[in-house]
Amino acid sequence: MATIVGLVIAGILLSILFIMGIAGLVASSSGDVPTVKANSVLYINLSGSVAERIPEDPLAEAFGEENRGIELLATLNALEYAKTDNNIKGIYMEHGYLSGGYGSIEEIRDAIEDFKSSGKFVYSYAEFLSEANYYVASVSDEIYFNPQGIMELNGLSANITFFKGLFDKLEIEPQIFRVGTYKSAVEPFMRKDMSEANREQVGSFINSIYDHYLQKVSASREIDYDKLKVISDSMLVRNAEDAYKYKLVTKIAYSDEIKALIREQLELKEDAKINSVSLKNYIKLANSVDKYSSNKIAVIIAEGEIVSGKGDVDNVGSDKFARVIKKARENDKVKAVVIRVNSPGGGIVASDVIWHEILLTKQKKPVIASMSSVAASGGYYLSMPCDTIVAQPNTITGSIGIFGMMFNMSGFLENKLGITSDVVNTGEFSDIYTVSRPLNDYEKSIIQGRVEEGYESFTGKAAEGRKMDIEALKKVASGRVWTGSQAKEIGLVDVLGSYDDAIKIAATKAGIADDYMTILYPELKSEFEEIMSKLVGETEARFMKANYGNITPYLDQIKKLENYNGIQARMPFDIEIK
């Protein structure tokens, strides 16, 4: 007993010392706001995933992990500030592998293009250029490409993972209920490939996205659109020489050569040190600038799946977001609200709870929807009551349709695990929501009826919000996914523009265009909470990776089925466009 008590006490003391040590590392790593020297360059490592906001990661900072991805809204703010900062003479981008939706990437590209309007230079260097990276790089004055560099310019593809074969082997039967010819979120569980309707809509929206991509690159690089399309369709760029031959890059060179060009631009001597500041540190500086105003625009960031309850940092919890919207509505200093949506949707009840709060807020002050990369199904549900909907041309939106799904696991339980069950009911349908037997036809009709009621409610509210005839709305609904450009043509979106455009529209509608500040909601966790959640999250992730290796992403997708409770307003969120 004494030994056990001693071990417990020792474990507690070691845990306390460990946390104190981590806290000390965090404190030492979170330095003051950096000072930018005169004649400096803003250095951007354009790699990692793009997210609207990235919570503070004290462990990453403490252990020197610099690249945690691109924090979109903070990056846009920093680029805006750099445009007028006399100490910043230009931008130097090094390209790694950038991942994210094209709506978000478009925001970065547009912000860098706007930065160039100040007359300052933008240079890029790359050893590998993905399609996403090149989209941003294409606005650069100079693009230096490594002699052995690899460039991807061969069009977009959309990949969907299907699980029907797995369920067949496990003797698990998905029981599907849906409304909408194009409502394809359930297809991975009932098919082994895309339906013709789904193939049609996916082909339509990825071609729309890529057409916009080619038009923008054509204008930036001064290459004829038709010629650029042939280069892409035929995959004529296979090495650095090809990239230079077709004028996609300006020079084949190594990184020291572009640094020599930067020194020349800054009028420095050959071996002089280049003063630079990283994007991460410059964000701290841009955020520290006093922008106080008594007129506030609340930006409420809805990123991730929409779920009932509180949710967490990776999704949109209906309870938490309803409270945040109510708080903004009741705050007299908040003159307008921007709902920033980057969501493929989720539970229809959770979406409706948030929709109701947005509708109440709209009655008191302007509410603008700003669509990021994805604002579809439940994501569109949050947008449709707003005064104005702003989307990027390549935003994925629409998908106005719903579905429900239950699993009959009787075969799996009995034949694979040897588990059987029996039941005593007080009513004929008391066990309708069980997984231990299949539903009968009448039970299926009950659930299908509820799904159809939900669809009528969704389309009715969408038609009311968009001021459209219900039949006209249904013609563009049926679960179909559209790009922002397409959605603008059919009336689902009001304005094609950026996050900044949405803020300006909100300020104008509120009558505060000359004097306002933005505040972001919901609030992020404290540093201590981030430390603890990070420790738990990393432990779980490493366990999964160690035990399941390369199939871990597929297991993660199956695990997400936990969020499929009740009727869903969700698009096929696991589509990978690359």
Q: Strand pairing of 296-303 and 517-521?
A: parallel
Report the Cα–Cα distance between both ends of the chain, in Å, rounded.
60
Residue 115's identity, in one-letter code, is F
Please tell me the predicted confidence (pLDDT) of residue 527. 46
Two structure tokens written together for 460:
């009715």
Please tell me the predicted confidence (pLDDT) of residue 184. 82
- Does the annotation mark 183 as catalytic? yes
Question: Cβ(491)–Cβ(476) under 8 Å?
Answer: yes
- Does the annotation mark 416 as catalytic? no
Contacts with 272 (C-beta within 8 Å, 6 or more apart), sequence order: 263
Question: Cβ(376)–Cβ(408) under 8 Å?
Answer: no
Question: Cβ(503)–Cβ(517) under 8 Å?
Answer: no
- Output the tens digit of pLDDT for each of the chain's 578 residues: 667 666 667 666 665 555 555 545 444 444 578 889 999 999 999 999 999 998 766 555 555 555 678 999 999 999 999 999 999 999 999 999 999 999 999 999 999 999 999 999 999 999 999 999 999 999 999 999 999 999 999 999 988 899 999 999 999 999 999 888 887 888 999 999 999 999 999 999 999 999 999 999 999 999 999 999 999 999 999 999 999 999 999 999 999 999 999 999 999 999 899 999 999 999 999 998 878 899 999 999 999 999 999 888 889 999 999 999 999 999 999 999 999 999 999 999 999 999 999 999 999 999 999 999 999 999 999 999 999 999 999 999 999 999 888 999 999 999 999 999 999 999 999 999 999 999 999 999 999 999 999 999 999 999 999 999 999 999 999 999 999 999 999 999 999 999 999 999 999 999 999 999 999 999 865 444 444 444 444 555 545 555 555 555 545 555 555 555 556 666 644 555 66
Q: Strand pairing of 88-99 and 388-391?
A: unpaired
3-state secondary structure of 406: strand
The pTM (predicted TM-score) of the whole model is 0.86
Please tell me the predicted confidence (pLDDT) of residue 54. 87
Q: Phi, psi (5° rounding) for residue 94?
A: -110, 130
Please tell me the predicted confidence (pLDDT) of residue 531. 46
Two structure tokens written together for 297:
């625009």
Question: Cβ(264)–Cβ(272) under 8 Å?
Answer: no
> Which residue of the set 183, 320, 365, 461 is catalytic?
183
* Secondary structure E strands in 260-395: 276-278, 296-303, 305-307, 315-317, 334-343, 345-347, 367-376, 388-391
Peptide bond into 522 cis (omega under 30): yes
Please tell me the predicted confidence (pLDDT) of residue 291. 80
Please tell me the predicted confidence (pLDDT) of residue 28. 46
Question: Cβ(208)–Cβ(486) under 8 Å?
Answer: yes
> Which residue of the set 184, 377, 383, 485 is catalytic?
377
Contacts with 109 (C-beta within 8 Å, 6 or more apart), sequence order: 135, 136, 138, 139, 216
